């Protein structure tokens, strides 16, 4: 159920209207149900009635919390590096970077994009099927310099 129990002010005010001998067992039953999901078995019929009225709210909140938790956990999963061809495509779409390379290496955009395609084929042929974009850019610059790097012991 829910990791941190929530106890509404309206619930406290309503429970305060009950006789004192029913209040604490009902509060304990609500908190127990929120944390473990175990329904009370030995409550007074009046306290059980109040519990039954609150149970759908508790269940709805627990369900919403579990959905949120799953969404957060799914988002937190570390993203895998993109496929090498996709990394090359992303680099080709980075206009500022292409302009920087054009100025630095005195090449036209068409030649830079052709080198990116060659680099993608070269990396894939050497068994590098996934590579982060920043490493791809590093390899591309060394390739344009004429100084290929080694990647995990493999010369490229």
Q: pLDDT, tens digit, for every residue of 7-26?
A: 889 999 999 999 999 999 99
| pLDDT tens-digit series, residues 84-113 | 788 888 888 889 998 999 898 898 888 888
132 CB contacts (<8 Å, ≥6 apart)? Answer: 81, 82, 87
pLDDT reading at 60 higher than 60:
yes
SS (H, E, C) 81-96: CCEHHHHHHHHHHCHH
What do you get for the CA distance between the two ends of the chain, in Å?
53
> Which of the listed ranges 3-12, 18-27, 72-81 does the model predict with the highest average pLDDT?
18-27
pLDDT reading at 50 higher than 60:
yes
List phi, psi (to 5°) of 130: -135, 135
Q: What is the pLDDT of residue 152?
A: 47
């Amino acid at each position: 159920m829910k990791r941190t129990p929530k106890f509404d002010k309206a619930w406290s005010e309503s429970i305060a209207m009950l006789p004192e001998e029913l209040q604490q067992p009902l509060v304990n039953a609500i908190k127990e149900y929120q944390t473990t999901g175990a329904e009370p078995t030995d409550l007074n019929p009046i306290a059980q009635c109040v519990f039954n009225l609150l149970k759908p709210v508790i269940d709805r909140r627990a369900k919403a919390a579990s959905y949120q938790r799953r969404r957060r956990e799914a988002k937190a999963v570390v993203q895998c590096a993109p496929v090498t061809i996709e990394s090359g495509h992303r680099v080709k779409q980075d206009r500022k970077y292409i302009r920087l390379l054009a100025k630095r290496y005195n090449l036209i955009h068409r030649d830079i994009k052709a080198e990116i395609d060659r680099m993608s084929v070269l990396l894939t042929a050497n068994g590098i099927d996934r590579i982060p974009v920043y490493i791809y850019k590093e390899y591309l610059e060394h390739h344009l310099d004429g100084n290929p790097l080694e990647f995990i012991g493999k010369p490229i």
